[in-house]
């Protein structure tokens, strides 16, 4: 099929490249001409593992191009995906201006040559499917020589569940595909579009093999527009709450002398709970959880419902981010004039995305308190320099260098390469060997042998290190 993807951010670029790899002919459109110019040179503006390689394969498969001319792309397309940003407004509501503009322009570019499906992939408040339809109709009326009734189109909601850092695998091997629409005809177009994905009728790229035991058919959930929109919000709210729950349990573990990772393993092996998203740490970040939970709270509020669980989930996360400062104060007392080395800036590993990253809040607080900040991130440092130039950070070219003369280091992002650090060597670089492990990445015993005063999140080892209480009983190897 001929497909247009509007918005070449994390979602749009990955969606476009994957659809082209599956054999569709894709045009990706953005209003940002600098981004498009880079993409035309095969220079992908975001960091996403495997995307450059898949782009090269996609060009040979269905074919993909990048343009700023939305009208020309829409005119030639059967399916138009809207994948523009829906960032939060100061009130917590979603900013729909990009979505509205994309929908209106799509309508204005339509003619009667074919039936088109406009698919909303952006995460939007419930009811936006109807809004998109209205705006497309307005766009059609705005100076379009075609009469509205002559132009056939359907609107669908197809929420995106990819995770930055593993977006290619998430897109090629999804747990499910959700399609919401009013008309059967609209749903049929999307089922046809996704047929190669649903039936897994493609050769997996060598750098992203099909997971062992992956099902022969991907489940497709077909539903109404409203339910599809709600599925996305409910999924993100649940995941944010699950991490928040692990964090709250970790905080209690720390008080009573239990070990959070062991406790979470103990509950996660229960098939009703599941082990993923139970890692305690210094809180979630990223462009989605915070904005989507807030937006869902607003929607609930519009209907006179106070979403207390969602409110608590945000509150727990806010508190969790303050833990780093609290733990540094417990170890160092005074932060003024201290040097703190941060390992990681991105909100999670394998991405350069800094939106709502805990690192930023930690840095701001440390600087306010008069500390000096040295930082190393394998990928996100350029983005940080560019987007947060006002933060006075000394950027370092390695983790080792970030630790140089530091009074403490803080593991903020669990990049896999940090796991392999020679902690003995790291501690030798430092003025004081204090390690705040914000993601429970390191083995506390190994960190201690390396000379560190180690402090994780919800770990009974915190207590052992201080010699305050006896060792907690350990579970058999799991
Ligand atoms: N990033 C994720 O991991 C993720 C996962 C699932 C869902 N989502 C949702 O997907 C949507 C997109 O997220 P993202 O992270 O890709 O955003 P992004 O900010 O990285 O990209 C959005 C792009 O849209 C472009 N744009 C804005 N208005 C436009 C217009 N009128 N015409 C053409 N291009 C336009 C912007 O220039 C930008 O390049 C959001 O609603 C987000 O909540 C994101």
Asked if 2-222 and 241-466 have one fold, the answer is: yes
How many CB atoms are closer than 10 A to CB 110? 25
pLDDT, position 100? 97
**Could you tell me the pLDDT band of residue 429, with boundaries at 50, 70 and 90?**
very high
Which region holds residue 287: left if phi is over 0, alpha if psi is between -120 and 50, else beta? Answer: alpha
**Domains of the chain: which residue ranges?**
2-222, 241-466
Atom of ligand 1 nearest to the CA of 86: 41
pLDDT, position 472? 43
- Mean pLDDT over all residues of the chain? 94
- State pLDDT tens for residues 187-219: 999 999 999 999 999 999 999 999 999 999 999
For the chain, percent of residues with pLDDT exceeding 90: 93
Give kind and range of the element (H or E) at residue 35.
helix 33-40
Q: What is the mean pLDDT of residues 310-333?
A: 97
Q: Is 162 in the pocket of ligand 1 (CB under 6 A)?
A: yes
- State pLDDT tens for residues 26-85: 999 999 999 999 999 999 999 999 999 999 999 999 899 999 999 999 999 999 999 999
Q: With a cut of 70, say whether residue 468 has pLDDT above it.
A: no
Atom of ligand 1 nearest to the CA of 35: 39
Q: With a cut of 90, say whether residue 92 has pLDDT above it.
A: no
Q: Is 464 in the pocket of ligand 1 (CB under 6 A)?
A: no
Q: Measure the CA dihedral 244/250/252/258, to 10°.
A: 160
Q: Is 101 in the pocket of ligand 1 (CB under 6 A)?
A: yes
* Strand, coil or helix: 380: coil
Catalytic residues: 288
Could you tell me which residues come within 8 angstroms of residue 322 by beta carbon, excluding any fewer than 6 positions away? 365
Could you give the CA distance from residue 187 to residue 221 in angstroms, rounded to a whole number?
Answer: 10
Q: What is the mean pLDDT of residues 452-474?
A: 67
Which region holds residue 203: left if phi is over 0, alpha if psi is between -120 and 50, else beta? Answer: beta
Q: How far is the CA of 414 from the centre of ligand 1 (A)?
A: 25
Q: What is the mean pLDDT of residues 5-29?
A: 98
Alpha-helical runs (H) found in 257-389 = 260-268, 289-302, 308-321, 323-332, 358-368, 381-387
Question: Rounded to 5 degrees, what are φ and ψ at 321?
Answer: -70, -20
Could you give the CA distance from residue 120 to residue 406 in angstroms, rounded to a whole number?
Answer: 48
List the Cα angle 251/253/259 in 5-degree steps: 125
Could you give the CA distance from residue 64 to residue 85 in angstroms, rounded to a whole number?
Answer: 21
- 393-395 and 453-455 strand pairing: unpaired
* Strand, coil or helix: 137: helix
More confident residue, 141 or 309: 309
**Could you tell me the pLDDT band of residue 426, with boundaries at 50, 70 and 90?**
very high
- State pLDDT tens for residues 124-164: 999 999 999 999 999 998 867 777 788 999 999 999 999 99
Q: Is 11 in the pocket of ligand 1 (CB under 6 A)?
A: yes
More confident residue, 465 or 104: 104
Q: Is 7 in the pocket of ligand 1 (CB under 6 A)?
A: yes
List the Cα angle 432/433/439 in 5-degree steps: 130
Could you give the CA distance from residue 441 to residue 347 in angstroms, rounded to a whole number?
Answer: 15
List the Cα angle 385/389/393 in 5-degree steps: 75
Could you give the CA distance from residue 106 to residue 162 in angstroms, rounded to a whole number?
Answer: 25
pTM of the model: 0.94
CB contact at 8 A, 219 and 188: no
CATH number of 2-222: 3.40.50.720
Q: How far is the CA of 352 from the centre of ligand 1 (A)?
A: 15
**Could you tell me the pLDDT band of residue 461, with boundaries at 50, 70 and 90?**
low
Residue nearest to atom 12 of ligand 1 (CA): 85
CB contact at 8 A, 174 and 161: yes
pLDDT, position 144? 73
Q: Is 239 in the pocket of ligand 1 (CB under 6 A)?
A: no
- 339-343 and 453-455 strand pairing: unpaired
pLDDT, position 66? 98
Q: How far is the CA of 259 from the centre of ligand 1 (A)?
A: 39
pLDDT, position 476? 52
CATH number of 241-466: 3.40.50.720
Q: Give the pair of three-digit tokens for residue 81.
A: 């995906």
Q: How far is the CA of 96 from the centre of ligand 1 (A)?
A: 11
Beta bridge partners of 228: none
Q: With a cut of 60, say whether residue 478 has pLDDT above it.
A: no
pLDDT, position 277? 96
Name the nearest CA neighbour of 344 among 417, 258, 269: 417
Q: How far is the CA of 281 from the centre of ligand 1 (A)?
A: 27
How many CB atoms are closer than 10 A to CB 78? 17
- State pLDDT tens for residues 169-185: 999 999 999 999 999 99
pLDDT, position 145? 75
């Amino acid at each position: 099929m001929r497909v247009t993807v509007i918005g070449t951010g994390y979602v749009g670029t990955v969606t476009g490249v994957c659809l082209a790899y599956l054999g569709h002919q894709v045009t990706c459109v953005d209003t940002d001409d600098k981004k498009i110019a880079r993409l035309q040179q095969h220079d992908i503006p975001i960091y996403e593992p495997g995307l450059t390689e898949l782009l090269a394969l996609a060009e040979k498969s269905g074919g993909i191009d990048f343009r700023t001319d939305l009208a020309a792309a829409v005119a030639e397309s059967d399916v138009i995906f809207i994948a523009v940003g829906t960032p939060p407004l100061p009130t917590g509501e979603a900013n729909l201006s990009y979505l509205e503009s994309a929908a209106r322009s799509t309508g204005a570019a339509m003619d009667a040559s074919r039936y088109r499906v406009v698919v909303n992939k952006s995460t939007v408040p419930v009811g936006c499917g109807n809004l998109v339809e209205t705006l497309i109709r307005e766009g059609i009326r705005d100076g379009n020589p075609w009469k509205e009734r002559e132009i056939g189109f359907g609107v669908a909601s197809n929420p995106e569940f990819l995770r930055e850092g593993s977006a290619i695998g998430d897109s090629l091997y999804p747990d499910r595909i959700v399609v919401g629409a009013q008309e059967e005809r609209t749903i049929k177009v999307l089922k046809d579009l996704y047929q190669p994905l649903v039936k897994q009728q493609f050769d997996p790229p060598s750098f992203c093999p099909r997971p062992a035991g992956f099902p022969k058919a991907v489940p497709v959930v077909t539903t109404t527009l409203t339910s599809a929109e709600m599925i996305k919000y409910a999924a993100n709210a649940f995941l944010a709450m699950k991490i928040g729950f692990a964090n709250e349990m970790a905080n209690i573990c720390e008080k009573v002398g239990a070990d959070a990772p062991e406790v979470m393993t103990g509950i996660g092996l229960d098939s009703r709970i599941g082990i993923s998203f139970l890692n305690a740490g210094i809180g979630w970040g990223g462009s989605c959880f915070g904005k989507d939970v807030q937006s869902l709270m607003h929607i609930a509020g519009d209907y006179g419902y106070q979403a207390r669980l969602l409110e608590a989930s945000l509150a727990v996360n806010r508190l969790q981010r303050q833990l780093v400062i609290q733990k540094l104060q417990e170890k160092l007392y005074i932060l003024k004039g201290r040097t703190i080395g941060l390992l990681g800036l991105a909100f999670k590993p394998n991405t350069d995305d800094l939106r709502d990253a805990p690192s930023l809040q930690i840095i701001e607080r440390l600087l306010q308190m008069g500390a000096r900040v040295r930082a190393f991130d394998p990928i996100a440092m350029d983005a940080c320099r560019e987007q947060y130039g006002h933060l006075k950070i000394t950027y370092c070219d390695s983790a080792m260098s970030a630790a140089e003369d530091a009074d403490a280091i803080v593991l903020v992002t669990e990049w896999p390469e940090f796991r392999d650090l020679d902690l003995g060597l790291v501690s030798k670089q430092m003025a004081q060997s204090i390690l705040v492990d914000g993601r429970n990445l390191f083995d506390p015993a190994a960190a201690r042998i390396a000379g560190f005063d180690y402090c994780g999140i919800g770990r009974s080892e915190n207590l052992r290190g201080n010699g305050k209480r006896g060792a907690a009983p350990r579970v058999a190897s799991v």
